[in-house]
Structure 1
């Protein structure tokens, strides 16, 4: 089959590789009908995520048609259309029983690597480094789906692939980010990053009762999409201080909740802390550039909440922990517990509350993937979300 393969930092190629096979009775194989490039895939492209190996197949936003099932998969049949959560969860361990599906303790075969880096191991993830399981991703013609009797969700005929695909990651991720922000009716929510997750966080915050959403970015097409979704916007390239602008707009109190939908590669153009972050990362003294997280902590009102859906991979310096403690902030984070959200969010799609296809700017073929990765990374050609169809 054809698949997008990581060959090293900045080097991804579409190669011919072996077709996947059933390896366990709980496996299924899907023919991938749609897959997408996620912002967190760029951390892999740029070499920020450790334990990648040449030959790894990328991609964790996947859906398709079931073409084979293991003997213990009784909930799916050949021909079903399914969306596959990016988190691989067993459904029956201590954490899965608590609904903490991204903390599943049974699906990372390389848990020892994660434990050394994080203290404990999260769930295995598709296409997301060997520290997180080494599972092949779905930017490919076919995908092996472990724990297929628990994770995938069947999609009804009245919902298109473009509407359903993002149940695999960015819609639940944006929604959980807004839920973690502990929004009360009428609250003001500031969201850093108007990429795909930020776009869904904007719309989810409004669905959960926010009175105002203030979205922060510098890319014109992203800011325009945020405004179309109901947000006020701040172009951080046009203001001297995002903090000062947020205080002005909230009469000195600060936003009730702040959402960091940027993560490890914040740019912070020209700010002293961001320049220092980049220098440290370049020589291995830090892995994460945490400019946005600092700004969110400093901007949030007393007793407010900072929600972090943006992916961080290791260590970042100079977090204002004194401000966080003295302001009494709540910090809520985590890889998304996707399986907790797929059914209720599918119901919202069917009810017409949201059409997730709004975020797609660039339909493409799998063969276009290397070019599209670079366009997405470099913010060229108005790219916000790329969806690829491996079979045309």
Structure 2
């Protein structure tokens, strides 16, 4: 089979690789029909994730068809069209029983990280019963790919951690794929205002089309305070992963508000505890658990959210090198989500 293989910082190759086989009774092998590229994949290629070894197949999102299952798999069978969760969960360990699948003792984020991932023609999925989700017949595969990672991440780490509520004013710092997913899912809770902040006018235009009430490209702190009559926001979501954007969140949150950190940070931030403690502010962060995939799937099935609207570029799976090149120049290419199709 063909796969996108990591060979150290700055090195990747679309090359021949052995087709994965069942290794445990709880495994399934899935033939990929759709996958995508995540910002985390770019971090890996920059060498920011040293646990990823030379020879690893990248990718942790996708939709496909089950090819084979181990004798211990009960929930899916060959021929089923399935969603692949970016988080692998055994369903049995203490963390899984608490719903914290991200820290499964025999799983978590391992696809494209510690084991071969989904940017390939085939992938082995451990703990298939808890890590694959059969797709309803009417659910479009393009939209379904967004359920692997970005929609549950935006929902769980953004909207739920931020405790978005009826009538709230929400600011999302960063209008990339995760920030836009946070926008889509925050709307489930009927905030009065959603302010999107990003220097890229193309992304702000997409944010407006997806329901943002206000957009800011310039000095975010001053602009937010003017929009809120000096009060600040009820919920500030950080969706970039750099110190500057986290600092914006600290400066714009109002007393009693919430900061939800979604972005993946590669270095320390300045934590303004001396200013925040007296404001009764709650700060939460985390790695997605994907335990809200079932409810999000029902919302997509009913047409309640336009997940496919996040896709800006489409490629064949064998064009993945070109897709990476475009995604690495996101601002220039006006890229948000890249869809790679093997069908």
TM-score by length of 2: 0.95
Name the counterpart of 1:9: 9
Off by >6 Å, runs of 4+ in structure 1: none
Between 140-149 and 42-51, report the one with greater CA deviation: 42-51
CA distance 1:27–1:42, change in 2 (3 Å): same
Name the counterpart of 1:357: 308
Name the counterpart of 2:250: 297
Measured after TM superposition, the shift of residue 317 of structure 1 is 4.0
Name the counterpart of 1:333: 285
Name the counterpart of 2:271: 319
Mapped pair 1:188 → 2:169: yes
Q: Deviations over 1:64-96 (max 9, x none)?
A: 000000010011110000001111111111111
Measured after TM superposition, the shift of residue 377 of structure 1 is 2.2
Alignment of 1:99-114 (within 5 A): 99-107=99-107
For 2:77 and 2:270, locate their aligned partners in 1 and report how far apart those are by CA, in whole Å: 52
Name the counterpart of 2:197: 216
Name the counterpart of 1:70: 70
Alignment of 1:122-141 (within 5 A): 123-128=108-113, 134-141=114-121
Measured after TM superposition, the shift of residue 16 of structure 1 is 0.8
Give yes or no for contact 1:309–1:334 (8 Å, CA) kept in 2.
yes
The correspondence for 2:240, drawn from 239, 242, 262, is: 262
| Structure 2 gap segments, 5+ residues each | none
Give yes or no for contact 2:88–2:130 (8 Å, CA) kept in 1.
no
Give yes or no for contact 1:95–1:101 (8 Å, CA) kept in 2.
yes
Q: Deviations over 1:346-372 (max 9, x none)?
A: 111122211311111111122322232
Name the counterpart of 2:334: 382
Q: Deviations over 1:158-209 (max 9, x none)?
A: 1111121111111111111111111121100000111111111111111112
Between 223-232 and 38-47, report the one with greater CA deviation: 38-47
Q: Deviations over 1:7-59 (max 9, x none)?
A: 22222221111110100100000000000111222211222222222211110
SS at match of 2:82: strand
Alignment of 1:129-208 (within 5 A): 134-176=114-156, 177-208=158-189
Measured after TM superposition, the shift of residue 233 of structure 1 is 4.0
Between 22-31 and 90-99, report the one with greater CA deviation: 90-99
Name the counterpart of 2:323: 372
SS at match of 1:8: coil
Between 35-44 and 226-235, report the one with greater CA deviation: 226-235
